[in-house]
Amino acid sequence: MSRKKISARGPHEPRRRARRRALQALYQWQLNDDSADAIIRQFVEEQNFEQVDQAYFEGLVREVVAQRAELDEAVAPFLKRIDSGIDQMERVILRLGACELIHHPEIPYRVVIDEAVELAHRFGAEQAHTFINGVLDRLAEKVRNMEREVERPDG
């Protein structure tokens, strides 16, 4: 009987790696303004996608590119910094997190925020994780209010 090997970090590692690849691809997209398909094609050809949820990677890249205006609008009320003051990497992480919060209700909001904060720790500026956490937490309060209510001990 053969068993599928699960990464030492757990069964969610392929999706975590997909987010990381999507972050890198979207960062490149922001700088070059290539099409989603061109960026995806380049990444699939040049990067190792072993142990990566490639379908999720491709979906995230396509969603963020297609819905960037909607995603930016969703986080705008929670930004204290002026738009130009947001680092390019922070912008990508916010767009990814907003995309998952808004369009992927099957992923618990806490997971979305934790993953975004982890990306900010790994790729962002020194205090980016705090900024990302605050913005996405307030967005989750708005778009995942029912999920948050169910979690409350008195809810």
**How many angstroms from the chain centroid is the CA of residue 36?**
16
Local structure of 17: helix, strand or coil: helix
pLDDT digits (tens, 9 = 90+) for 101-113: 999 999 999 999 9
13-145: CATH topology is: N-utilizing Substance Protein B Homolog; Chain A (1.10.940)
Query: What DSSP designation does 84 have?
Result: G
Query: Does 100 score more than 50 pLDDT?
Result: yes
pLDDT digits (tens, 9 = 90+) for 40-64: 999 999 999 999 999 999 999 999 9
pLDDT digits (tens, 9 = 90+) for 67-85: 999 999 999 999 876 555 7
pTM confidence score: 0.86
- Measured distance CA(125)–CA(10) in Å, rounded: 27
